[in-house]
A and B are shown apart, each in its own frame.
Chain A
Amino acid sequence: GAVVSQHPSWVICKSGTSVKIECRSLDFQATTMFWYRQFPKQSLMLMATSNEGSKATYEQGVEKDKFLINHASLTLSTLTVTSAHPEDSSFYICSTTRTGISSNQPQHFGDGTRLSIL
């Protein structure tokens, strides 16, 4: 069954709205979560790495004030798209590894959130 729950799955909202996306690990503690953005027919682009209890690490070119990440507990990380505009419309996906950040374990992905800004 699913080990990572992502919510909501689809959001349609007006320009200027802030949207929060939640990512939960269901039966394990997730010290680290990854947030990706995926454009149509393209690969995943890592936006940021979220570490429980500390500030997220953002990839180059990703606006940290635009994409606010909070990882306040070992089972929940949130991504807030602030003052969203049509160019922020995309598919956002979170992931984590079951055993922390061991490099030989696969990542487990949420089902993604499709964000459409009108």
Chain B
Amino acid sequence: AQSVAQPEDQVNVAEGNPLTVKCTYSVSGNPYLFWYVQYPNRGLQFLLKYITGDNLVKGSYGFEAEFNKSQTSFHLKKPSALVSDSALYFCAVRASDNYGQNFVFGPGTRLSVLP
């Protein structure tokens, strides 16, 4: 079975400071990992994904994430947070051999960037 944990409901960071939103996963086989962002009353927007290759993945809006197989983690990071980054962030996983099956989403982490 697949599962995703986002241990923090809320992350607060000052504008200009680095931010990290944590994600750990459990999946049988190799994982495909994704980060999405959701703004109020909107659907989810894709930020980045890890499929294979380099463990550090760069995505939209200056975000990046590091895949750590030994720790089964895929934390989202950004070197310098913006107030406009304030939103709800979801981590999602899918097993690479789970063809045709849906993603499993984490519970979400609300990021607040304070001016």
Query: A: which residues have CB within 8 A of B?
Result: 4, 6, 9-10, 32, 34, 41-44, 46, 49, 91, 93, 95, 101-104, 106-112, 114
The secondary structure that dominates the A interface is strand
Q: Are B103 and A107 in contact (CB under 8 A)?
A: yes
**Inside 8 A of A109's CB, which chain B residues have their CB?**
36, 43-45
The distance from the CB of A113 to the nearest CB of chain B, in whole angstroms, is: 10
From B90, B103, B106, residue with most partner A Cβ within 10 Å:
B103
Given contacts A93-B43, A108-B46, contact A101 B100 (CB under 8 A): yes
Q: A43 to B98, alpha carbons, bound, how many Å?
A: 21
Q: A81 to B90, alpha carbons, bound, how many Å?
A: 26
Q: Are B107 and A43 in contact (CB under 8 A)?
A: yes
The distance from the CB of B102 to the nearest CB of chain A, in whole angstroms, is: 6
User: Could you give, for residues 23-50 of chain B, a 1 whenever the CB lies within 8 Å of some chain A CB and a 0 otherwise?
Assistant: 0000000001010100001111110010
Given contacts A42-B108, A103-B95, contact A34 B102 (CB under 8 A): yes
The distance from the CB of A29 to the nearest CB of chain B, in whole angstroms, is: 16
The distance from the CB of A65 to the nearest CB of chain B, in whole angstroms, is: 22
**Inside 8 A of A110's CB, which chain B residues have their CB?**
43
- Which of B36, B44, B99 is the one whose CB lies under 8 Å from A101? B99
**Inside 8 A of B103's CB, which chain A residues have their CB?**
107
Q: A34 to B104, alpha carbons, bound, how many Å?
A: 12
Q: A108 to B42, alpha carbons, bound, how many Å?
A: 12
Is B94's beta carbon under 8 Å from chain A?
yes
**Which 10 pairs of residues, A with B, have the shortest CB-CB distance?**
A109-B43, A106-B46, A109-B44, A43-B107, A101-B100, A111-B43, A104-B51, A112-B43, A110-B43, A43-B105
The distance from the CB of A40 to the nearest CB of chain B, in whole angstroms, is: 11
